[in-house]
Structure 1
Amino acid sequence: MVKLSAKDYFSSDFKLGILGGGQLGKMLLYETRKFDIRTKVMDASDEAPCKIACNEFVKGSLMDFDAVYDFGKDVDVLTIEIENVNLDALEKLEDEGTKVYPPAKALRTIQNKATQKLFYTDNGIPTAGFSRFAYASEIKDSVENGGLEFPFVWKAAQFGYDGQGVKVVRKMDDLAELPSGECITETMIPFKNELAVIVVRNPSGDVVTYPVVEMEFHPEANQVEYVICPARIDEDIALKARKIALKVSEKIGHIGILAVEMFQTQDDEILVNEVAPRPHNSGHYSIEASYTNQFEQHIRAILNLPLGKTESKVAGIMVNLVGTEGHTGNVVYENIAEIMTMDGVTPHIYGKKQTRPFRKMGHVTIVNKDVDEARRVAQKVKETIKVISK
């Protein structure tokens, strides 16, 4: 395969393939359009947010071998915006010379949560204690025989996203609601904070990290409601979190963006929860707050370009916009004009026409020199805008 240099990517015949056409892909396309990089996207939905913004769109299942393989044969570099893709196809493409970032080997470790947890223990990376089950029905036997104690966290081994595939199990009756497939259970961690660090790596081995962010979750939906940068933690804790994130990145061998989600325990230990090998919710604040946002950084990394400055210009808060409970159908963003009157507030609408309870429909960033003031405005934004149906 012809070796490409930086000048070959811009205003040329070079083609970047993106598997997945959701909001993360759409925000990647903001950056490829800025650089005039040609793109081809595949998604299973005809209404994927990426469809109107890429140069070529292909409808196809990301888990179908032939669809992924045929798509990848026609691009120069292939990346993802969601990790649930056919890995056998990616490995064949790699064998035939296509550059696939993140590499299929890294995705094999990450795609299955049981495999991911074993990777942490095998590599001396601190993580919550866990058990692995081929079937959810085996959990009841483990509880009855003293192997598990309530409460614990249940996670589907594969295909979980946006709070789906995760449940806190507090009593025996909760087990009846669990899907039957492969899963893990994790010890409940009495944490102080949920944190995240984004690590960026290019094929040349250059590595940078973004500042540690703090995440506040919705108690029922298990979705991030707020991302706060910088995290309101001591500097020694931030350094510890960044160091662990760098170790995860090195051991897993990823290229591009890797978001490492963590717990800060009551004893100030840092435990890795899970990772995402792509642009991530915890980095959306960077679009307005950082010198180089995470989407541009991912493009720079996978094309082996110089990595950008990761520091923030101002404090940034991200508020997720999710569908309101009790509303399903054509979406309406109630009071959106009202939040746009607030200083430092920028809404991002993902282009999904149909809302449903807790579906991610957009996000809002709030920037301010003072993180506490930004958090106050974020609360006002959250209380003002509503994602409802007509």
Structure 2
Amino acid sequence: MTTLRTPGPTLGVVGGGQLGRMLAEAASPLGVEVVVLDPTPDCPAAPVARDQIVADFDDEAGIRELAARADVLTFEIELADQDVLERISEDTGTPVHPKPSTLRTIHDKLVQKRELEDAGVPVPPFREVEDADDIRAAIDDYGAPVMLKARTGGYDGRGNVPVESKAEADEALESVAGPAMVESFVDFEREVSVIAVKGDDEVATFPLGENVHVDEILRETIVPARSSDAAAERAYDVARDVLEVMDGRGVYGIELFETPDEEILLNEIAPRPHNSGHWTIEGAANSQFEQHARAVLGWPLGSTDLRSPTVLTNLLGDVDEEQRAELGDIDRLLETPGANLHWYGKRQVRPLRKMGHVTVSAEDEDADVEDLLETARKLEDAVTFRN
């Protein structure tokens, strides 16, 4: 085994949003420097990264500069161009993790679902949509409602449109404005996620998280999930099967549906640290961000053990229109034992934009997550955005 040393290598990250910021924060204590590429000057990751290259996510010259300054490339946003990354990796010898081939699979939700179904991963019934008649046919076969999804470009619920009846099919397809697919609507007991890590020759999973979405946007994550042991084990099995399909090292956010009879179905995959894994910063022995840095560099993975039950709530923009971002009334949050504030450093707040998150961790492993959730909600409600 190669002897590892600190100060260590430089990690080049395509994307400099909040995920890049938290990745740089986690890499620094390991002696790993981070350089990010992002089109927004002074992006959220800039204050904590070694440097920022200001360029678009598909800017080949910018990514070549990033590769020249890095020992390994990774990405924190799926808008990274897989073809450019693959070409630059081949030309320069700088490895990319996860692999561009995985990013290519993830980019198109229809391709993603087909590959996973072929591998035996349980997924909801789905089909390609070429016109509104395909949506109406899906309603005939699956029942109403169905979920119409943009095949590319959607995130945080954008591009996902529930279709309640055949009469809504034309308008729904027009709103997606691009290639689409349709899925049967899953009558789930809860939404859960596994944050899984694929290392050089090892795989690790964090404890199962339970997610609460409103309008397709993640609002809360509860760990451990309020699932049975059997359902949790099934979720871990599905996550490990997913990793068999994915190519390349790193953290994968694997979103799942748990049905009332404890069946587990795959929803979507993010080949990067995920919002539903932010709780790991305080709640796990090693955060998902440290694990991602370790994994993409080919270093041994750390422990994914739960430190104590933890609840996360997102701080979303509660404004009517875009304005300068300023967070107020945080005194109570800072005074509460076990509570932690994470501010993402975004300059502007918009309606429902993710501006930060709050975690509340228990003092012992026997704490009631319901109590933690109530505390987290009260703290989140007290925080305000103001001019």
Q: Which residue pairs with 1:67 in the alignment?
A: 62
Deviation at 1:5, TM superposition (A): 4.9
Task: Indicate the larger mover: 166-175 or 73-82.
Answer: 166-175
Q: Which residue pairs with 2:178 in the alignment?
A: 181
**Count of aligned pairs between the two proteins:** 378
Aligned-partner Cα distance in 1 for 2:230–2:142:
34
Q: Residue 192 of structure 1: which of 189, 192, 196 is its match?
A: 189
Q: Residue 28 of structure 1: which of 23, 31, 36 is its match?
A: 23
Structure 1: state its 5+ residue gaps.
Answer: none
Per-residue CA deviations over 1:13-65 (Å, capped at 9, x if unaligned) read x3210000000000001122212222211001113101222222111111234
Aligned-partner Cα distance in 2 for 1:189–1:37:
42
1:197-276 equivalence runs, <5 A: 197-203=194-200, 205-218=201-214, 220=215, 222-276=216-270
Question: Could you list the runs of 4 or more consecutive aligned residues of structure 1 that deviate by over 6 angstroms after TM superposition?
Answer: none
Per-residue CA deviations over 1:322-363 (Å, capped at 9, x if unaligned) read 101414201232321122222211110000121010100000
Secondary structure of 1:259 counterpart: strand
Length-normalised TM-score, structure 1: 0.92
Q: Which residue pairs with 1:143 in the alignment?
A: 136
Contact 1:65–1:88, Cα closer than 8 Å, also in 2: no
Per-residue CA deviations over 1:251-299 (Å, capped at 9, x if unaligned) read 2223110111000012211000011111111111111111111111111
Q: Residue 330 of structure 2: which of 332, 336, 343 is its match?
A: 336
For 2:96, give the aligned amino acid.
V
Deviation at 1:101, TM superposition (A): 0.4
Deviation at 1:157, TM superposition (A): 0.9
1:293-372 equivalence runs, <5 A: 293-368=287-362, 369=364, 370=367, 371-372=369-370
Aligned-partner Cα distance in 1 for 2:13–2:2:
18
Length-normalised TM-score, structure 2: 0.93
1:2-81 equivalence runs, <5 A: 5-7=3-5, 10-11=6-7, 14-81=9-76
Structure 2: state its 5+ residue gaps.
Answer: none
Distance 1:63 1:147, change over 3 A: farther
Q: Which residue pairs with 1:108 in the alignment?
A: 104
For 1:60, give the aligned amino acid.
A
Contact 1:328–1:389, Cα closer than 8 Å, also in 2: no
Deviation at 1:88, TM superposition (A): 1.0
Secondary structure of 1:340 counterpart: helix
Aligned-partner Cα distance in 2 for 1:246–1:163:
25
Deviation at 1:223, TM superposition (A): 0.8
For 2:33, give the aligned amino acid.
R
Distance 1:174 1:350, change over 3 A: farther
Deviation at 1:185, TM superposition (A): 1.0
For 1:150, give the aligned amino acid.
A
For 1:375, give the aligned amino acid.
L
Aligned-partner Cα distance in 1 for 2:176–2:149:
10
Does structure 1 residue 82 correspond to structure 2 residue 73?
no
Q: Which residue pairs with 2:119 in the alignment?
A: 123
Aligned-partner Cα distance in 2 for 1:141–1:120:
22
Q: Which residue pairs with 2:382 in the alignment?
A: 384
1:147-162 equivalence runs, <5 A: 149-162=143-156
Contact 2:24–2:33, Cα closer than 8 Å, also in 1: no
Deviation at 1:375, TM superposition (A): 1.5
Aligned-partner Cα distance in 1 for 2:329–2:120:
49
Distance 1:91 1:147, change over 3 A: same
Aligned-partner Cα distance in 2 for 1:185–1:262:
17
Aligned-partner Cα distance in 2 for 1:141–1:237:
33
Contact 1:322–1:358, Cα closer than 8 Å, also in 2: yes
Aligned-partner Cα distance in 1 for 2:198–2:124:
26
Deviation at 1:247, TM superposition (A): 0.6
Aligned-partner Cα distance in 2 for 1:113–1:69:
28
Secondary structure of 1:54 counterpart: coil
Identity %: 33
The RMSD of aligned alpha carbons is: 1.9
Deviation at 1:379, TM superposition (A): 2.1
Secondary structure of 1:184 counterpart: strand
Contact 2:129–2:135, Cα closer than 8 Å, also in 1: no
Contact 1:69–1:89, Cα closer than 8 Å, also in 2: no
Q: Residue 164 of structure 1: which of 150, 158, 168 is its match?
A: 158
Deviation at 1:143, TM superposition (A): 1.3
Deviation at 1:147, TM superposition (A): 6.1
Contact 1:350–1:361, Cα closer than 8 Å, also in 2: yes
